[in-house]
Amino acid sequence: MKIDPIIIIAGEPNSIFLEIFFKIFKKNKFKSPIILICSKNNIISQMNFFKYKFKINELEINNIKLFNLDNKYLNVIDVNFNQKKTFEKISAKSNNYINRSFEIAIKLIKSNISKKIINGPISKKTFLNDEFPGITEYLGSKFKVKNTAMLIFNEKLSVCPITTHTSIFDVSKKISKRKIIDNVKLIYNFYKKIFNIDPIIAVTGLNPHCESKTNEEKNIIIPAIKSLSKSNIRVLGPFSADTIFLKENRKKYDVIIGMYHDQVLAPMKTLFEYDAINITLGLPFIRISPDHGPNENMLGQNKSNSLSLYKALKFLDKR
């Protein structure tokens, strides 16, 4: 049986990604071959810095032989990127490198090499600017997919924000009945396909205690929930966001959907810290990113937590 390799885009070269990847690669075995899209120079520099001695198997993008791949080596597609120091400040000079890395991964997906992708942390401020709110939307544009959702996944509880990296000032303008319905259906289909279960989904209101003069609950959220209930999807709400995450409440649900990023990600990270992964729903492949950023302040300290990346690899390794 063919086992799809896990394609990893290392992302921002001046991040903690390779540090935590080396820790995991040294201590764990995966049945899926791993293909790392990264600067070979960057790998060698950081291996020397952290005192690792992995052997590199350099791959040619147009001649990847899956039957020859294993994890005795670092299987690397080299994306040229040179810098004088092992670590530098994050800046826009890595943008072309990151974009080329994604282009290579997209080519591998479209060539049916794999449908399993992990991307390392990327600075949204320098790489995306104002063109896309996040990598979710960036990848959606590459595959002409408009309907995507961000699922922060843990086996005990997952969350999904209807708006992602959006200013609080703009949230009420960007939520809609259609967006809530689309996100719930993506989540429902994901849980049915991957876990063969009908998830129980809770939806929060937008406003404190689900009350306000603008009444987004009455005009947008409740109509969306009623529409979804007619499709036999188990979705309930709206619930007040300040109580839905209480222990006796949250254990009733598989997924809690919120109206904006921090409404659900702040309690999620408080509960599970690094024991969660970011899965993009709606793409023609499974895309995961570890649930943390570049962590520029901890570069070179060898103290960063590798749990989220490990969970991402284990999740894809089972599929």
Which pLDDT tens digit goes with each residue over 195-207? 999 999 999 999 9
Q: Rounded CA gap, 114 and 176, in Å?
A: 34
HEC string of 179-221?
Answer: HHHHHHHHHHHHHHHHHCCCCCEEEECCCHHHCCCCCHHHHHH
Decide: 30 and 70 in contact? Cβ < 8 Å.
no
Q: What b/e sequence results for 192-227 when a residue is b if at least 16 CB atoms lie within 10 Å of its CB, and e otherwise? A: eeeeeeebebbbbbbbeebeeeeebbeebbbebbeb
55 pLDDT above the threshold of 80: yes
Fold that domain 1-145+283-319 belongs to in CATH: Isopropylmalate Dehydrogenase (3.40.718)
Give me the mean pLDDT over the 4-10 stretch: 96
76 pLDDT above the threshold of 70: yes
146 pLDDT above the threshold of 90: no
Which pLDDT tens digit goes with each residue over 263-281? 999 999 999 999 999 999 9
1-145+283-319 and 147-278 in the same fold: yes
Fold that domain 147-278 belongs to in CATH: Isopropylmalate Dehydrogenase (3.40.718)
Q: In this prediction, what percent of the chain has a pLDDT beyond 70?
A: 99
User: Out of 54-68, 99-113, 159-173, 231-245, which region has the weakest mean confidence (pLDDT)?
Assistant: 54-68
Query: Residue 270: beta bridge partners?
Result: none
User: Out of 57-61, 66-70, 161-165, 290-294, which region has the weakest mean confidence (pLDDT)?
Assistant: 66-70
131 pLDDT above the threshold of 80: no
CB within 8 Å of 180: residues ≥ 6 apart: 162, 203, 220, 221, 224, 225, 228, 257
Query: Residue 35: beta bridge partners?
Result: 7, 75
Q: Rounded CA gap, 217 and 223, in Å?
A: 8
Give me the mean pLDDT over the 282-292 stretch: 92
pTM of the model: 0.93
Domain residue spans of the chain = 1-145+283-319, 147-278
Residue 129: its pLDDT value, please?
A: 67
Q: Rounded CA gap, 49 and 145, in Å?
A: 40
